[in-house]
Amino acid sequence: MTGRWSNPSVRLLAGQSDPVEAVLKRARETVLMAIDKGWSGPPFDPIALSGILGIPVFPRADIRDARTVPQGEAGICIEYNPTRPRGRLRYSIAHEIAHTLFPDCAEQIRYRSAHHEMKGDDWQLEMLCNIGAAEFLMPIGSLQRQLIEDPSIDRVLVMRSQFDVSTEAILIRLVQVSERPCSAFVASKVERGNRAGSYRLDYVITSRGSVDSTQSGSMLPDPAIIGECTAIGYTAKGNILFPGQSTPAHIECVGIPPYPGSLHPRVAGFLNSGPATEAASSISYLKGNALEPRGESTKIIVHIVSDATPNWGGRSFAVAVKQKWPTTQRDFRTWVESNRRNLKLGQVHVVRAAEETFVASMVCQSGYGPSVQPRIRYAALEETLKSVAEVAKKLQASVHMPRIGTGQAGGAWFIVEELIRSTLTNAGVSTTVYDLPETSPNQQKQLELIPSMA
């Protein structure tokens, strides 16, 4: 953990790891578990998520937004003000759920704090809870690729209505998945003292590819563009030099509801510092057969198998693997027979199928046969893909696959795709996905639509 993280709750959660990565990991685990249990959207209901987590939620009109309250041996509950605007209410409840990710949450009442109420390093905990809230309200795979690849404040406002969330939540989630060097920020106008009229950055969250050094709490030297957002919903666009930057960046922002008691709206927006970076490589999509992977390097073909049987059947891709390389099925069956725990969800078996080709069989499907609910288990898929990434880096291999998880497992490709990005391509592993050329244009169009997670 870097020295600037001093909040005791943050340090307790993160240990020696990066706090942002730590809270994202905990939030992602919670989301994948909830989706596996049937949580669906958009919009994604934070009260339903609380129910899945076993956290009671109660309305209470005499509090400002929401809070987590210790209940002794009964654990904790969340109280919220039902009179707040719907988007703010949902964000506040999600923010309080994020508080429960921290091990010491039950030691005291936790509030969603306004900037002017924070003391010392409270901002660190609140910023991380904002990140967790965005992950809950717009889970993995739910953002449209158009917004990610070509962000604009206008698209953000449209998606805000679709997901029924705050502008803050959309912006934070956008930056988390962006392959561009960019930052999300919220600023508020200073109303008293010698800084009155200036804007302070309440918090700044950067993308993976960003090298910006803009810090939360910094004062903006030039409020000209941000100052145009004089009312809720007013937008502004232009170029601005933020603190810590050497060159101006493109900014797009919008006025959002003020802190209680304030006369001026806050301003939320994003900085777009440049095009997608080489470090954040993308998935390569090809027409072809995943059983005939392209390239000269060592290759790993990945596929999904069930936790119910060591035998691969039906019309799955696994059957095609077995037909081409029979030893892969026999070796997998022997591996399971040596220890039945090897067939648990989250396990992966890697075996050499040919001179420069390996097959990774990932146990990510619960049961088999017709099912009302998807049989894929996204948490298990994430775990196995991380294991495959480690093997790929050790072998200096590329990874190849069909659209795993979307056939008999019944999964949503946009969730699978984001898991592939976060585990494989972001780790520098070259990854190729194959679509068979006989796929009709209508079928391909259906694949590209964001599916319901119901």
The domains of the chain are located at 1-138, 143-279, 284-448
The pLDDT value recorded for residue 53 is: 94
Question: Listing from the earlier edge strand, what are the strands of the sheet with 57-59?
Answer: 57-59, 76-80, 66-70, 110-111
Q: What would the mean pLDDT of 14-25 be, rounded to a whole number?
A: 84
pLDDT higher at 72 or 363: 363
| Averaged pLDDT of the chain | 82
Residue 212 has pLDDT above 60, yes or no: no
CATH classification (class only), 143-279: alpha beta
The pLDDT value recorded for residue 452 is: 35
pTM (2 decimals)?
Answer: 0.65
The pLDDT value recorded for residue 450 is: 36
The pLDDT value recorded for residue 210 is: 59
pLDDT higher at 111 or 426: 426
Asked whether the domain spanning 143-279 has the same topology as the one spanning 1-138, the reply is: no
The pLDDT value recorded for residue 280 is: 41
The pLDDT value recorded for residue 174 is: 80
Q: What fold characterizes domain 1-138?
A: Arc Repressor Mutant, subunit A (1.10.10)
Write a three-state SS string for 405-426: CCCCCCCCHHHHHHHHHHHCHH
Residue 412 has pLDDT above 50, yes or no: yes
Residue of 179, 185, 306 lying closest to 252 (CA atoms): 185
Write the pLDDT tens digit of every residue in 241-265.
766 666 777 888 888 888 767 788 8
Residue 439 has pLDDT above 50, yes or no: no
The torsion defined by the Cα of 188, 192, 196 and 202, in degrees rounded to 10, comes to: -20
* Range name among 278-282, 326-330, 376-380, 407-411 with the lowest pLDDT average: 278-282
- Helix (H) or strand (E) segment spanning residue 299: strand 299-306
Residue 74 has pLDDT above 70, yes or no: yes
pLDDT higher at 2 or 283: 283
- Highest mean pLDDT among 34-43, 225-234, 358-367, 419-428 belongs to 358-367
Write the pLDDT tens digit of every residue in 117-165.
556 677 788 878 888 888 898 887 776 665 666 677 887 887 777 777 7
Write the pLDDT tens digit of every residue in 184-204.
888 888 877 777 778 888 878
The pLDDT value recorded for residue 403 is: 92
Crossing angle for the helix pair 86-99 and 46-53, to the nearest 10 degrees:
30
- Helix (H) or strand (E) segment spanning residue 285: strand 284-287
- Helix (H) or strand (E) segment spanning residue 204: strand 199-206
* Assigned CATH for 284-448: 3.40.220.10
Residue of 355, 288, 360 lying closest to 321 (CA atoms): 360
